[in-house]
Chains A and B, each alone.
Chain A
Amino acid sequence: MYLKYVIFALFITCASWVSGASYEDKRCKCVCPSIAAVLNNTEGSEYDRKLYIGNVPPNKCNCVGVILPRVGEIIKGRDQEFCPRCECKYENRNTTIIKVVVIIVIWVIMLLVAYMGFLICLDPLINKRAKASYQEHTNEEDESTISGTSQPMASRGNVLNRVTHQQDKWKRQVREQRRNIYDRHTMLN
């Protein structure tokens, strides 16, 4: 029930963010040695690289399409020497997917942490009260008597009951798993 609202809110936030951003999805990335290294014919240790990024169609992602328009002035006619040393790579990405995924991940982690906090802090209090009220009616923790007492309530809050029942079942399973792994060390060592 809460889950629906949560998912709804999540989609709202996603949608509002999606409509905003303005980042390019494509680029042509060229890496060249620094121009000085080529023009001055300096021997040896010249590690400076220069990055040229252009937004061009894939078939123009090369030295002529990206680099020469910018540095043509400087290298003037020596592009035959300069260009072979450049590596150009066409890359694309999908910013929307990245955004949605990261936001979903943050949401899920926050939800889980919140639920964990709930289970650690509030749940013992609630359960204590519930257990006390049970023990007034029945002294023994027999499955059948508990389900018997909850039978009249079933008509009132059927969904709620089922949810709590499922939750109890799940908690029992997790307790069992915890005992296997953290206490008895029989598995996953």
Chain B
Amino acid sequence: MERFPLKSSVSKAGTTYQSVYKKGTSAGNGRGGVTPEDDMVEIAPGDATPTSHGTFQLYEHSGRNNSNASANWDAVIFSGMQGDADDIPGIGQYDDFHTIDWQRDIARDRMRHRYIVKKRQDSIWDLIKGAHDAWSGWVCVLLVGVCTGVVAGVIDIGASWMTDLKFGICPQAFWFNREQCCWSNDEITFDHTNCSQWLTWPQVFGESRDGAGAYIVSYLFYIVWALLFAALSASLVRMFAPYACGSGIPEIKTILSGFIIRGYLGKWTLIIKVVGLILSVSSGLSLGKEGPMVHIASCLGNILSYLFPKYGRNEAKKREILSAAAAAGVSVAFGAPIGGVLFSLEEVSYYFPLKTLWRSFFCALIAAFILRSINPFGNEHSVLFFVEYNKPWIFFELIPFIGLGIIGGVIATIFIKANIYWCRYRKYSKLGQYPVTEVLVVTLITAVIAYPNPYTRMNTSQLIYLLFNQCGISNSDPLCRYNRNFTGVNTAIERAAATSEVYNAMGLLFLALLLKLVMTVFTFGIKVPCGLFIPSLALGAIAGRIVGIGMEQLAYTYQNIWIFSGECSTGDDCITPGLYAMVGAAAVLGGVTRMTVSLVVIMFELTGGVRYIVPLMAAAMASKWVGDALGRQGIYDAHIALNGYPFLDSKDEFQHTSLAADVMQPKRNESLAVITQDSMTVDDVETLLKETEHNGYPVVVSKESQYLVGFVLRRDLNLAIANARRTLDGITGQTVVVFAGPATPGTLPLNRILDMAPITVTDQTPMETVVDMFRKLGLRQTLVTHNGRLLGVITKKDVLRHVKQMDNEDPNSVLFN
């Protein structure tokens, strides 16, 4: 049974990598003693980092000359990496709902890279190929940036046109929205209604513009269009790409942490998400397009990465492109390239090396540039609610700003708790069986309640713009009806008392706040593409504006108190309600998503001034503290937990005292399914594969000794046996499978699929360390040994279940295969 002396396996498992190379080539347990020099040249000690799993196995084999097959295979590995069809198809890919092995994928890429570098000296063609390989990452993110910008432009233009379709049409050029339709028409006095080119629906049907009848017709058309758009969106999503529903950020987070969801970033998901997003935004539901934009950009990143095999065939490398794409998504959503990069770093990405940071930067830059040149809103910016502020703030205002942060944190916590409760109810009750009906009911209620209130009737982005804006000449909304006169020449805007119209507007805004809060709770999670950045910004902006007007009137009434006396004594308008709206928006968004740095950067990129960083930081921080105190998770983490995605959060700490032996499989008095290195037949292996459902099997020297040789994945094993049956002659059920050691004729050598450097821990390792290893190295599984003998396996699933169990949650809720 034990053909190898113990020494051999000990040296493999226990010594450093460098020494293993030497053993493999020079000592030779019955191996050919020829030293292949060119291979040895490659293995500089610095190269062999502990992560290069497959690498040394490869060189070790090429050291052996007694087996022609294995010599051929090394060539096959190389050519397989090159993209030729010789390799076993599918090796290195993963099944649906599996976790990727970062270490293995990165090692594969390193090997491929080394091969390309080596080949570069051979010919000009290889040199060109090497150069292409080197720049393909940049080309890929360039393409992703360009496509993201274009798609964002399409969404912006389409959604703004379709939103105005609810109110009327431009008969001369039906593709214009109201603003565009009245582009060069100045015959009317300035108000929010229409010019003569733009026909509201009552006018189209020959009624007057005003009056009760016209109001009812408009109301009906508003509801009917909203229902039509929502129904289309929901049924397209249901018919063509169910994965296109929702915001997508929790799933993108999970995917970036190394999970495979097939089809989640595919072509159909992209198309349906774009079209469905336009439809659902224009239906007037309380949702935004910013979150889905991240999903759309990631879809583009995934699709375009298939043009470059370096990224398309390597899941770990692909995630670098996806991180950059997520940055581009936020970049176009808010016109905030740096904010996008930081969002990708802070919120979604899991593995974010510096190289990816620079690529994300470039990708976000390109996307923002393209969108800016499309100029979808005609305001020279890529968001509708871009405002420019230049007013100073006084030091005392920090107190209301922090107060806004606290309000924001409270609103956010209410929202998260209610939304998660409702989503859980939907998940486990009968409600979940009627997705399209639910969308229609929510749309109907939203439309019926929203129309009478002008602040909820308008597009949410426009509402945010209105609230962010300061009251100037060009702003004639009731919110800005102060008792001002236009006579004094030099003081443009001065402090003034608010009229009753302002207070009416504040009342309407408060109603809008309640309505938006309630409706967003029910909206986020219905089966259409929907994000929640815009609704939460709107919630915060309303709260902030109300507080801001209050502060302004306070300063007007008590202008001689010491806190206002310094700055406000000159008669200038020293308090800007629009700034409060902005701070409030940042506070609620920060509370909902628990972003801090990226949020502040996004907000100040929106305002085009760095002057307000301190207020925004104070509010974001206060809101995060309040949010963390009242509820543990942000909305995305809460949704990840609700769905049971296998996401190992690097923010949480593992504080329990359990050991690796408590967590590992198998538990006591169960046996571990193992494969021996050179004594099992094809039939034995296939029986094992049939009887057990593990995703990988440890390979040991022999069942008695249980000395560890390596680890082999179920999928690879299946593929390799199927491939061998197809291509090699003389493979029968009785053929012995050899995983390690010399391959004699008449056996089936499977050295190539064996990972000979699996990560191992001892059974006394604290789980704290194990969890850390899983997080930081991106492991898929680790083997547990005791006195050098194999004892069991800990997979990511086991770790996640253990964490859930320790937190008194249901461990079976983890979605995993």
Partner of B239 from the list A99, A104, A119 (CB cut-off 8 Å) is A119
The yes or no answer to A24 lying at the interface (CB within 8 A) is yes
The yes or no answer to B489 lying at the interface (CB within 8 A) is yes
Question: Is the CB–CB distance between A173 and B263 below 8 Å?
Answer: yes
Residues of chain B with a CB closer than 8 A to A92's CB = 375, 378, 380
* A101-B275 Cα distance, complex, nearest whole Å: 12
Question: Is the CB–CB distance between A104 and B154 below 8 Å?
Answer: yes
Residues of chain A with a CB closer than 8 A to B239's CB = 116, 119-120, 174
Mark out the residues of chain A between 58 and 116 whose CB falls within 8 Å of any chain B CB in the assembled complex: 80-81, 84-87, 89, 91-95, 97-99, 101-105, 108-109, 112-113, 116
Most buried by A among B189, B251, B525: B189
Nearest B residue (CB) for A84: B489
With A24-B183, A105-B158 as known contacts, state yes or no: A45 contacts B190, CB within 8 Å: no
Residues of chain A with a CB closer than 8 A to B473's CB = 31-33, 49, 85-87
Question: Is the CB–CB distance between A105 and B184 below 8 Å?
Answer: no
Mark out the residues of chain B between 365 and 396 whose CB falls within 8 Å of any chain A CB in the assembled complex: 374-375, 378-380
Binds B, one of A4-12, A133-141, A153-161, A177-185: A177-185
Residues of chain B with a CB closer than 8 A to A112's CB = 236, 240, 271-272, 275
Mark out the residues of chain B between 459 and 507 whose CB falls within 8 Å of any chain A CB in the assembled complex: 472-474, 476, 481, 483-487, 489-490, 492, 499
Partner of B268 from the list A44, A108, A170 (CB cut-off 8 Å) is A170
Residues of chain A with a CB closer than 8 A to B715's CB = none
Partner of A38 from the list B180, B236, B486 (CB cut-off 8 Å) is B486
The yes or no answer to B432 lying at the interface (CB within 8 A) is yes
Q: How many residues of A contact B (CB 8 A)?
A: 64
The yes or no answer to A188 lying at the interface (CB within 8 A) is yes
Residues of chain B with a CB closer than 8 A to A55's CB = 184
* A28-B89 Cα distance, complex, nearest whole Å: 62
Residues of chain B with a CB closer than 8 A to A37's CB = 486
Question: Is the CB–CB distance between A186 and B643 below 8 Å?
Answer: yes
* A37-B423 Cα distance, complex, nearest whole Å: 55
The yes or no answer to A43 lying at the interface (CB within 8 A) is yes
Partner of A27 from the list B153, B176, B183, B499 (CB cut-off 8 Å) is B183
The yes or no answer to B188 lying at the interface (CB within 8 A) is yes
Nearest A residue (CB) for B251: A188
Question: Is the CB–CB distance between B190 and A27 below 8 Å?
Answer: no
Question: Is the CB–CB distance between A177 and B242 below 8 Å?
Answer: yes
A16 to chain B, nearest CB (A): 14
Q: How many residues of B contact A (CB 8 A)?
A: 74
Partner of B374 from the list A53, A85, A97, A173 (CB cut-off 8 Å) is A97
The yes or no answer to B122 lying at the interface (CB within 8 A) is no
Nearest A residue (CB) for B483: A44
Residues of chain A with a CB closer than 8 A to B246's CB = 188
The yes or no answer to A189 lying at the interface (CB within 8 A) is yes
The yes or no answer to B527 lying at the interface (CB within 8 A) is yes
* A49-B241 Cα distance, complex, nearest whole Å: 49
Question: Is the CB–CB distance between A180 and B242 below 8 Å?
Answer: yes
Mark out the residues of chain B between 169 and 205 whose CB falls within 8 Å of any chain A CB in the assembled complex: 173-176, 180, 183-186, 188-191
Question: Is the CB–CB distance between A33 and B486 below 8 Å?
Answer: yes
The yes or no answer to A187 lying at the interface (CB within 8 A) is yes
Question: Is the CB–CB distance between A47 and B275 below 8 Å?
Answer: no
The yes or no answer to A2 lying at the interface (CB within 8 A) is no
Residues of chain B with a CB closer than 8 A to A38's CB = 486-487
With A46-B486, A49-B189, A97-B374 as known contacts, state yes or no: A177 contacts B157, CB within 8 Å: no
* A84-B493 Cα distance, complex, nearest whole Å: 11
Partner of A84 from the list B240, B243, B492 (CB cut-off 8 Å) is B492
With A84-B492, A98-B176 as known contacts, state yes or no: A44 contacts B474, CB within 8 Å: no
Tally of A-B Cβ pairs under 8 angstroms = 181
The yes or no answer to B621 lying at the interface (CB within 8 A) is no
* A99-B173 Cα distance, complex, nearest whole Å: 9
Question: Is the CB–CB distance between B236 and A27 below 8 Å?
Answer: no
Residues of chain B with a CB closer than 8 A to A34's CB = 189
Question: Is the CB–CB distance between A45 and B499 below 8 Å?
Answer: yes
Residues of chain B with a CB closer than 8 A to A47's CB = 476, 481
Question: How does the 8 Å CB contact mask read for B238-264 relative to A, with 1 for contact and 0 for none?
Answer: 111111011000010000000001110
A37 to chain B, nearest CB (A): 5
The yes or no answer to A41 lying at the interface (CB within 8 A) is yes
With A38-B487, A45-B481, A53-B185 as known contacts, state yes or no: A173 contacts B527, CB within 8 Å: no
Partner of B262 from the list A91, A173, A185 (CB cut-off 8 Å) is A173
Nearest B residue (CB) for A48: B189
Residues of chain B with a CB closer than 8 A to A104's CB = 154
With A45-B483, A186-B815, A189-B423 as known contacts, state yes or no: A23 contacts B279, CB within 8 Å: no
Question: Is the CB–CB distance between A189 and B639 below 8 Å?
Answer: yes
Nearest A residue (CB) for B158: A105
* A109-B233 Cα distance, complex, nearest whole Å: 10
Residues of chain B with a CB closer than 8 A to A89's CB = 474
Residues of chain A with a CB closer than 8 A to B261's CB = 187
The yes or no answer to B725 lying at the interface (CB within 8 A) is no
Question: Is the CB–CB distance between B158 and A49 below 8 Å?
Answer: no
Question: Is the CB–CB distance between B275 and A109 below 8 Å?
Answer: yes
The yes or no answer to A21 lying at the interface (CB within 8 A) is yes
With A51-B186, A87-B472, A87-B473 as known contacts, state yes or no: A102 contacts B158, CB within 8 Å: yes
The yes or no answer to A50 lying at the interface (CB within 8 A) is yes
Question: Is the CB–CB distance between B242 and A93 below 8 Å?
Answer: no
Nearest B residue (CB) for A117: B239
Nearest A residue (CB) for B476: A49
Question: Is the CB–CB distance between B474 and A31 below 8 Å?
Answer: yes
Partner of B232 from the list A113, A173, A180, A186 (CB cut-off 8 Å) is A113
B544 to chain A, nearest CB (A): 24
* A27-B182 Cα distance, complex, nearest whole Å: 11
Residues of chain B with a CB closer than 8 A to A46's CB = 485-486
Nearest B residue (CB) for A66: B186
B278 to chain A, nearest CB (A): 6
The yes or no answer to B766 lying at the interface (CB within 8 A) is no
Mark out the residues of chain B between 262 and 293 whose CB falls within 8 Å of any chain A CB in the assembled complex: 262-263, 268, 271-272, 275, 278-279
A183 to chain B, nearest CB (A): 8
Partner of A93 from the list B175, B375, B484 (CB cut-off 8 Å) is B375
With A43-B487, A87-B472, A92-B378 as known contacts, state yes or no: A174 contacts B241, CB within 8 Å: yes
Question: Is the CB–CB distance between B815 and A105 below 8 Å?
Answer: no
Residues of chain A with a CB closer than 8 A to B162's CB = 105
Nearest A residue (CB) for B156: A101
Most buried by B among A41, A97, A102, A103: A102
* A136-B453 Cα distance, complex, nearest whole Å: 64
The yes or no answer to B235 lying at the interface (CB within 8 A) is yes
* A104-B404 Cα distance, complex, nearest whole Å: 43
Nearest A residue (CB) for B480: A47
Interface CB pairs A-B, < 8 A, 30 = A23-B183, A34-B189, A44-B483, A44-B485, A45-B481, A47-B481, A49-B189, A49-B190, A49-B473, A49-B476, A50-B190, A84-B490, A85-B492, A92-B380, A93-B378, A94-B375, A97-B374, A101-B154, A102-B158, A102-B161, A108-B275, A109-B279, A112-B240, A173-B262, A181-B242, A185-B427, A189-B426, A189-B427, A189-B432, A189-B643
Give residues in A with beta carbon < 8 Å to B.
21, 23-24, 27, 31-34, 37-38, 41-53, 55, 80-81, 84-87, 89, 91-95, 97-99, 101-105, 108-109, 112-113, 116, 119-120, 170, 173-174, 177-178, 180-182, 185-189
Known: A170-B268, A188-B242. 17 other contacts (CB 8 A): A23-B183, A44-B484, A48-B190, A49-B190, A85-B473, A86-B473, A95-B180, A97-B374, A98-B157, A105-B162, A113-B236, A177-B241, A181-B243, A185-B426, A185-B427, A188-B245, A189-B639
The list of the 8 closest CB pairs from A to B, nearest first, reads A49-B190, A102-B175, A53-B186, A93-B378, A31-B474, A105-B158, A177-B242, A51-B190
